[in-house]
Amino acid sequence: MNFIAQLKARFAIMGELIAFLWLRRLWWMIPMVLVLLGFGLLIIFTQSSALAPFLYPLF
């Protein structure tokens, strides 16, 4: 599988999770999932960049 296909698969899983939470009326969990996803993306994209030292004071 190439990178684009893997990316689509990951976003499909997140879309299914949000749809499940919406269907089950678990609206209060959607902001938590989005915040955790945001932190995960922040960690992944700043792992080996020059921005890492500026993120340490945030945590």
Give the lowest-confidence range in 13-22, 29-38, 40-49.
Answer: 40-49
pLDDT for position 1: 56
The DSSP element (H or E) to which 16 belongs, if any, is helix 3-23
* Closest by Cα among 14, 59, 19 to 37: 14
DSSP conformation class of 50? T
**Residue 13 pLDDT > 70, yes or no?**
yes
Which span out of 32-36, 45-49, 52-56 was modeled with the highest average pLDDT?
A: 32-36
